Amino acid sequence: MKGKVYLVGAGPGDPELLTVKAFKALKIADVVLHDELISPGILALVPKTAQLRGVGKRGGRKNIRQEEINALLVQFALLGMQVVRLKGGDPMIFGRAGEEIEVLRRAGIEVEVIPGVTAALGAAASVQIPLTHRDISSAVLVVTGHSSEAGPDNWPGHISPGTTVVVYMPGYSYENTARRLMAAGLKESTPCAIISQATTADKQVYRTTLDALPRVPRLPAPALLVAGEVVRFADHYALQQQFSWAAEPSGKATLQFLAQAGSQEQSE
- Residue ranges in 58-87 that form contacts with a copy of itself under rule CB under 8 A: none
Q: What is the 3-state secondary structure (H, E, C) of 55-74?
A: CCCCHHHCCCCHHHHHHHHH
Please give the torsion angle defined by the CA atoms of residues 149, 151, 154 and 158, in that order, rounded to the nearest 10 degrees.
Answer: 130
Report whether 216 contacts 111 (CB < 8 A): no
Give Cα separations from 248 to 24, 175, 194, 265 (angstroms): 50, 20, 19, 18
Report whether 179 contacts 217 (CB < 8 A): no
| For residue 222, cis peptide bond before it (omega within 30 degrees of 0) | yes
Choosing from 139, 182, 247, 253, the residue that interacts with a copy of itself (CB under 8 A) is 139
138 belongs to the binding site for a copy of itself (CB under 8 A)? yes
88 belongs to the binding site for a copy of itself (CB under 8 A)? no
Question: In angstroms, rounded to a whole number, what is the distance separating the alpha carbons of residues 153 and 179?
Answer: 13
- Residue ranges in 179-218 that form contacts with a copy of itself under rule CB under 8 A: 199
Choosing from 19, 176, 241, 260, the residue that interacts with a copy of itself (CB under 8 A) is 19
- Smallest separation (angstroms) from a copy of itself to the CB of 263: 15
- Smallest separation (angstroms) from a copy of itself to the CB of 223: 17
AA letter at 127: V
44 belongs to the binding site for a copy of itself (CB under 8 A)? no
21 belongs to the binding site for a copy of itself (CB under 8 A)? yes
Question: In angstroms, rounded to a whole number, what is the distance separating the alpha carbons of residues 4 and 267?
Answer: 51
- Residue ranges in 219-258 that form contacts with a copy of itself under rule CB under 8 A: 230, 233, 235
Q: What is the DSSP letter of 219?
A: P
Stretch that binds a copy of itself, among 76-84, 158-166, 175-183, 240-248 (CB under 8 A): 158-166
9 belongs to the binding site for a copy of itself (CB under 8 A)? yes
Backbone angles phi, psi at 259, to 5 degrees: -75, 110
Stretch that binds a copy of itself, among 15-23, 173-181, 203-211, 248-256 (CB under 8 A): 15-23
- Count Cβ atoms below 10 Å from residue 19 Cβ, excluding itself: 16
Stretch that binds a copy of itself, among 17-25, 170-178, 214-222, 247-255 (CB under 8 A): 17-25
151 belongs to the binding site for a copy of itself (CB under 8 A)? yes
- Smallest separation (angstroms) from a copy of itself to the CB of 254: 24
AA letter at 153: D
41 belongs to the binding site for a copy of itself (CB under 8 A)? no
137 belongs to the binding site for a copy of itself (CB under 8 A)? yes
- 81 part of the active site: no
- 57 part of the active site: yes
Question: In angstroms, rounded to a whole number, what is the distance separating the alpha carbons of residues 219 and 196?
Answer: 6
- 3-state SS, residue 181: helix
111 belongs to the binding site for a copy of itself (CB under 8 A)? yes
Choosing from 37, 103, 117, 212, the residue that interacts with a copy of itself (CB under 8 A) is 117
Give the total of residues touching a copy of itself (CB under 8 A): 71
Report whether 215 contacts 253 (CB < 8 A): yes
Residues that are catalytic: 35, 57, 169
